Amino acid sequence: MTAKSIQTKPIEGQKPGTSGLRKKTKTFMEPHYLENFIQAIWESIGGVKGKTLVLGGDGRYFNDRAAQVILRMAAASGAKKVIVGQNALMSTPAASNLIRQKKTDGGIIMSASHNPGGPDEDFGVKFNMPNGGPAPEEVTNRMVKATQSIKDYLILEAQDVDLSKRGATKLGDMEIDVVDPVKDYAQLMEQLFDFRAIKGLFEKGFTMRFDAMHAVTGPYAKAILEGRLGAPAGTVVNAEPKPDFGGGHPDPNPIWAKELMDLMMGEEAPDFGAASDGDGDRNMILGRGCYVGPSDSLAVLAANATLAPAYREGLKGVARSMPTSRALDRVAAKRGLDCYETPTGWKFFGNLLDDGRITLCGEESAGTGSDHVREKDGLWAVLLWLNILAKTGKSVQEIMDAHWAEFGRNFYSRHDYEAVDAKKANEMMDALRARLPDLPGTIIHGRTVEAANEFAYDDPVDGSRSEGQGLRVMFEDGGRIVYRLSGTGTVGATLRVYIEDVSDDPESFGDDPQDALADMIAIADELAGIEEHTGRDEPDVRT
Ligand code: G16
């Protein structure tokens, strides 16, 4: 087997967004596209000679082919070893765990997360660091630079490696270890949570449905919920990972997990419902007749985490991304915990976790996690919820009611306008940005603007600064509107508008967030001129 140097040229647009490089699958399949980016990853980390990496993906279309290319490129550049999930499958949190447990030099995860999969849909590649977390901006900036000056890449001429069989094998001089992607992760979960209490819950007839959305979490949820915890067979549905995720978006929200949503709101609802996304790092939580928004879920988990063995000693601190509702801040204030506000993107939690400043963190985009790995973790959130339900004996609705009664309620919703003309979306943001300095003191719909600015983050650990992280308008009465353009879409621009209002009046707690926020929603449109700029009079998705 010989390593060949293949001549290539820079390809435009190879710039990782919020989480890795995401493009149309067909783009990734174009000549040299994947190879150029992988070579750029090697460059950005000082090469892979003598290094050990983890490799896995969410099983979407092209996952298997890309894995073979990455292995041949790692071997050609002198990597010592690659630990690969069987059939090139591995959830993002499980990959993060394996990178940490095996003390590897990082890993590559092939995923476009919640984006749909298939030849006409999306593919993605991200690199995680030796701490198990997504590459920080400093490293992704080096990747971009490398893609812009690339002249050649190294690849081994070789047959495909059989990734369907577990065990050790070789590719040239490089060792390959094909592993069960579930085992180490399941063991970790068993250490964190009170499995005996959760088992007891199922023994008493507690019912649950977990929708794996035909994505990577299926085998994990089956092994843990039905295998180790004794949930009845059939608790996990859509459990087989499919290259096109069964034709849907593997995005656990009320729109894309509608089947689960309908079940949970109907007569036959089980006690608990949950779903996860393409690569297993997001989650959705539901009770009978009750949808728990991601920001509320984060706050509830923070308030009750000490019920789980791993967090019994208390939390070091907590963090949320800026657009996430400030329900978490209320918990932190009452419990005397430090609460950090970071830009959107899990990578920004890495330093806080590594430095021991926080134990738990999360985002409005259905991601919650803790210091057990360096990624958000869908099943982890589900298991922590189960642990809380088992220990308190309360229903999800009772937990929510008690939480709001103790801390007050942050009504919250995110409105997404998808595939908007990028130029128009940027013009809208530019126009609003220009008006921000004049907004404080202005009264809109009877509410006074307290502050308005563009969010920038100074990392307290390494001192790095990240600018341009979202436009926010805060009102004196506690309401807030945030505007951002998504960094994970692949077509045009996705405008995200995050709307929040607060209430301490228990009478209002039963209200539907869309109704409770009606006034703020109108203000959000008026302030930015969303309809005027984008031509859209309604969002595509409300979460
Ligand atoms: C990714 C990131 C998250 C981020 C989310 C939304 O999630 O890992 O940290 O909150 O995208 O980002 P944006 O608003 O820029 O689209 P995932 O689950 O797609 O990896």
Query: Per-residue confidence at 525, pLDDT binned at 50, 70, 90?
Result: very high
Percent of the chain with pLDDT over 90: 92
Q: How many Å is the maximal CA-CA distance in the chain?
A: 73
Residues 208 and 101 in one domain: no
Residues 392 and 434 in one domain: no
pLDDT tens digits along 334-346: 999 999 999 999 9
Which atom of ligand 1 is closest in space to residue 344's alpha carbon?
10
Residue 351 DSSP symbol: H
Ligand 1 centre distance from Cα of residue 366 (Å): 9
Phi, psi of 471 (to 5 degrees): -95, 130
Residues 353 and 471 in one domain: no
DSSP per residue, 439-460: -TT-EETTEEEEEEEE--EE-T
Domain boundaries, position 12 = 2-180
Residues 172 and 222 in one domain: no
Q: What is the pLDDT of residue 38?
A: 98
Nearest one of 375, 126, 87 to 241, comparing CA atoms: 87
Residues 280 and 307 in one domain: yes
Residues 358 and 315 in one domain: yes
Where among 354, 389, 407 does a domain terminate?
Answer: 407
Which atom of ligand 1 is closest in space to residue 20's alpha carbon?
20
**What is the average per-residue pLDDT within 400-423?**
94
Ligand 1 centre distance from Cα of residue 345 (Å): 6
Q: What is the pLDDT of residue 504?
A: 87
Q: What is the pLDDT of residue 402?
A: 96
Cβ of 52 closer than 6 Å to ligand 1, yes or no, is no
Q: Which of 15, 19, 346, 379 most suits a substitution to test ligand 1, by most atoms within 8 Å of the C-beta?
A: 19
CB 499 within 8 A of CB 520: yes
Our answer to whether residue 325 is catalytic in this structure is: no
Q: What is the pLDDT of residue 47?
A: 97
Whether residue 508 has pLDDT greater than 90: no
Q: Has this prediction a pTM greater than 0.85?
A: yes
CATH code where residue 468 lies: 3.30.310.50
Cβ of 374 closer than 6 Å to ligand 1, yes or no, is no
Residues 423 and 512 in one domain: yes
Residues 320 and 213 in one domain: yes
More confident: 543 or 323: 323
* Burial profile 475-490: b = 16 or more Cβ within 10 angstroms, e = fewer: beebbbbbbbbbebbb
Cβ of 19 closer than 6 Å to ligand 1, yes or no, is yes
Where among 377, 407, 437 does a domain terminate?
Answer: 407
Q: What is the pLDDT of residue 42?
A: 98
CATH code where residue 353 lies: 3.40.120.10
Residues 198 and 343 in one domain: yes
Output the average pLDDT for the chain. 95
Residues 503 and 370 in one domain: no
pLDDT tens digits along 485-495: 998 777 789 99
Cβ of 114 closer than 6 Å to ligand 1, yes or no, is yes
Ligand 1 centre distance from Cα of residue 364 (Å): 9
Ligand 1 centre distance from Cα of residue 365 (Å): 7
Residues 165 and 195 in one domain: no
The Cα–Cα gap between 97 and 187 comes to 11
Domain count, the chain: 3
Q: Which of 113, 325, 365, 413 is catalytic?
A: 113
Q: What is the pLDDT of residue 65?
A: 97
Ligand 1 centre distance from Cα of residue 253 (Å): 14
Residues 68 and 201 in one domain: no
Partner residues linked to 472 by β-bridges? 453, 482
Where among 180, 199, 222 does a domain terminate?
Answer: 180
pLDDT tens digits along 193-212: 999 999 999 999 999 999 99
Q: What is the pLDDT of residue 488?
A: 77
Nearest one of 1, 58, 540 to 281, comparing CA atoms: 58
CB 433 within 8 A of CB 454: yes
pLDDT tens digits along 80-102: 999 999 999 999 999 999 999 99
